[in-house]
Amino acid sequence: MHPNLRRAVIVVILGFVGYLLWYVNGNAVTGDQSTSMSKPSYVLRLIPASGASVPVQDRVGIDLSSGFDAYLDLNGIEIRNVVEDPTADGLVRSGTGTIGYQPAVGHRVERLASGENCVTAFVWKQEEGRDTAKPLRWCFTAT
């Protein structure tokens, strides 16, 4: 094979391999990204991420864009009440748009179930009201 032809073939092969690596790396689905393709744009983060493995005392919640609100259903237990004290039994809203629930002794949910747990967040635009809430469900494992 002529040396210039060999160089051209090597350049084409390396270019193709580089493209494949770029494509796979840019489209890989890992960790919290596993739900990013299916969640609405106003959902910034699921807590914990879909498919994650977490301790049974871990916090659950959702991080929303400004102007949205939500309540949670954790394994069939609806949690709507908002509390100021993060140690109280209810939803805690932070100023950043995060709505969370912390299982603890004496709360409706004292700890996450060992194995699969599922959260449904009922999310609505604040200006449209709670009656327009749309469910968003994800599951994770607690150990």
pLDDT tens digits for range 99-141:
999 999 999 999 999 999 999 999 999 999 999 999 999 999 9
Return the HEC string of the chain.
CCHHHHHHHHHHHHHHHHHHHHHHHHHCCCHHHHHCCCCCCCEEEEECCCCCEECCCCCEEEEECCCEEEEEEECCEEECCECCCCCCCCEEECCCCEEEECCCCCCCCCCCCCEEEEEEEEEEECCCCHHHCEEEEEEEEEC
pTM: 0.72
Q: Please tell me which residue, 20 or 14, carries the higher pLDDT value.
A: 14
